[in-house]
Amino acid sequence: MRLSCILLVLATPALAETCPPGPDIDVPLAALIAEGQEAQRYMPARDALRDMWALWKAPPDDWSGELLAVGKERLDMADYEGAQKAFDALVDYCPTWAEGWNQRAYVFFNQERYEEALVDLDRAIALSPNHIPALSGKGVTLLRMGRVEDGEFWLKRAVDLHPWLPERGLIRELYGAPR
């Protein structure tokens, strides 16, 4: 059923202009970032990050949510071609939703198409500067490309926002260690 939805989007370019703006998540995201930064233990920090993910993944409408679900389903099955088609349709339909770009970047990353992943991660970060997974994803991607200093710069930006982030262990010197 979901594949037919994707085919409909691909065949109907008029839909590309109908994505509504997503909800304004700045205030609740700032509160969750503060909660993660103030956490004295892992579990509360983990819960804050889980709640942040819920904000980032909240679709602007049902159609964008359906495209996200299809893409993630394809990604979970390592069907990168199917996932990319779904996320291509999503970013075409909803170019102002950072999570679409972040998810497509993850598809590219899994295929070791790092340059393409960086383009999408930059777009996600431009749309949502505190998108911790996009920031850390950019850091990890740069590390995979052998660009260690650049990768650590972006990982540190992510860890500054969430000190309990597991990716902090990829930074050569101890950084952002929980208190």
Are 104 and 98 in contact by the 8 Å Cβ rule? The answer is no
pLDDT at 6 > cutoff 90: no
Q: Residue 9 has what pLDDT?
A: 47
User: What is the dihedral angle through the alpha carbons of 109, 16, 82, 72, rounded to the nearest 10 degrees?
Assistant: 70
In the chain, what are the helix, strand and coil shares in percent, each to the nearest 5? 75, 0, 25
**Tens of pLDDT, residues 77-111:** 999 999 999 999 999 999 999 999 999 999 999 99
Q: Residue 2 has what pLDDT?
A: 54
Does 16 reside within a domain? no
Q: Residue 8 has what pLDDT?
A: 45
Percentage with pLDDT > 70 across the chain: 88
> What's the Rg (C-alpha) of the chain?
17
Does 153 reside within a domain? yes
In angstroms, the CA 12 to CA 137 distance is 32
In the structure, what pLDDT confidence band is assigned to residue 23 with cuts at 50, 70 and 90?
confident
Does 47 reside within a domain? yes
Other beta carbons within 10 angstroms of residue 144's beta carbon come to: 13
Greater confidence (139 vs 179) lies with 139
CATH number for the domain that contains residue 94: 1.25.40.10
Does 119 reside within a domain? yes
In the structure, what pLDDT confidence band is assigned to residue 17 with cuts at 50, 70 and 90?
low
Does 97 reside within a domain? yes
Are 78 and 109 in contact by the 8 Å Cβ rule? The answer is no
pLDDT at 66 > cutoff 60: yes
Q: Residue 112 has what pLDDT?
A: 98
Domain count, the chain: 1
Q: What's the domain range around 103? A: 2-6+33-170
Other beta carbons within 10 angstroms of residue 112's beta carbon come to: 10
Does 66 reside within a domain? yes
Does 22 reside within a domain? no
pLDDT at 56 > cutoff 60: yes
Angle at which helix 80-93 crosses helix 2-11, to 10 degrees, equals: 50
Are 51 and 30 in contact by the 8 Å Cβ rule? The answer is no
Does 175 reside within a domain? no
Give the least confident one: 14-28, 39-53, 159-173.
14-28
